[in-house]
Amino acid sequence: MQMKNKLKHMDGLSRICDTLMLDMDGTLLDLAYDNHMWMEHIPTEYAKRNNLSPQDAREHLYKILGRLEGKLDWYCLDHWSDALDLDVVALHREQKERIAFLPGAKLFLDNALDQSFRLLLVTNSHQETLNIKSEVTGIVEYFDDVYTSHALGYAKEDQGFWNQLQKQEMFDPDRTVFIDDNVAVLQAARKYGLDQLLHITQPDSRKASQEHDDFAGIKGVSEIT
């Protein structure tokens, strides 16, 4: 795929884009941390609080989580703290030693700093989660600006997010490259008019790579040299 080949080289990115938008979790940071939080740590604490078996706690949590997937509240730690009667922010801090860059992602960001394009972090992460991850990794320091779904009022899966982002950034969709691991988010970006899209196929370093037919895919940003 010709576009994929262009996007896999840093000098190629510089030629075809004025703005490089990057997702955070699963694109730059290892999604293993988030999956551990929501599949293991939080269900375990919920089970203890409610005198449930770990399996019953997981089934209950996955059911209520699934109802909001792709919505703003799905990403909101305040919402889940209230819904679960747990201090979800504190639980995230308890496990912060698990937060890490994906292989090669930090070097990619170091190299991106030398390029002429505007570098934006575009994330569904709740501000509290972003704060914790930035404390551990310093990730926000790499970017010209940071946009969160909560600050813009819409999840990235919603066209409202892209409309609000356009109002603040005035980016040219034809001169913008966007990299994300979430297929639903990439579909929303394409619907808005962004065509230069890359799908991260191994967002969790513990799991196998999974490609998607609709998007050019790379295992990780480390492939962009």
- Render each residue's pLDDT in the chain as its tens digit; 225 residues: 455 666 778 888 888 999 999 999 999 999 999 999 999 999 999 999 999 998 999 999 989 888 899 999 999 999 999 999 999 999 999 999 999 999 999 999 999 999 999 999 999 999 999 999 999 999 999 999 999 999 999 999 999 999 999 999 999 999 999 999 999 999 999 999 999 999 999 999 999 999 999 999 999 999 998
- With contact defined as beta carbons under 8 Å apart, do 38 and 45 qualify? no
Question: How much is the pTM?
Answer: 0.95
pLDDT score recorded for residue 65: 87
- Return the residue matching tokens 């994330």: 123
| Among the four given CATH numbers 1.10.3720.10, 3.40.50.1000, 3.30.70.270, 3.40.50.300, the one describing domain 2-30+100-223 | 3.40.50.1000
pLDDT score recorded for residue 11: 81
For the chain, what are the domain ranges?
2-30+100-223, 33-97
User: 114 exposed, middle or buried (CB, 10 Å; 0-12, 13-18, 19+)?
Assistant: exposed
- With contact defined as beta carbons under 8 Å apart, do 157 and 188 qualify? yes
- With contact defined as beta carbons under 8 Å apart, do 19 and 172 qualify? yes
pLDDT score recorded for residue 66: 85
pLDDT score recorded for residue 12: 81
SS3 string, 95-126, reads CHHHCCECCCHHHHHHHHCCCCCEEEEEECCC
pLDDT score recorded for residue 14: 85
pLDDT score recorded for residue 4: 61
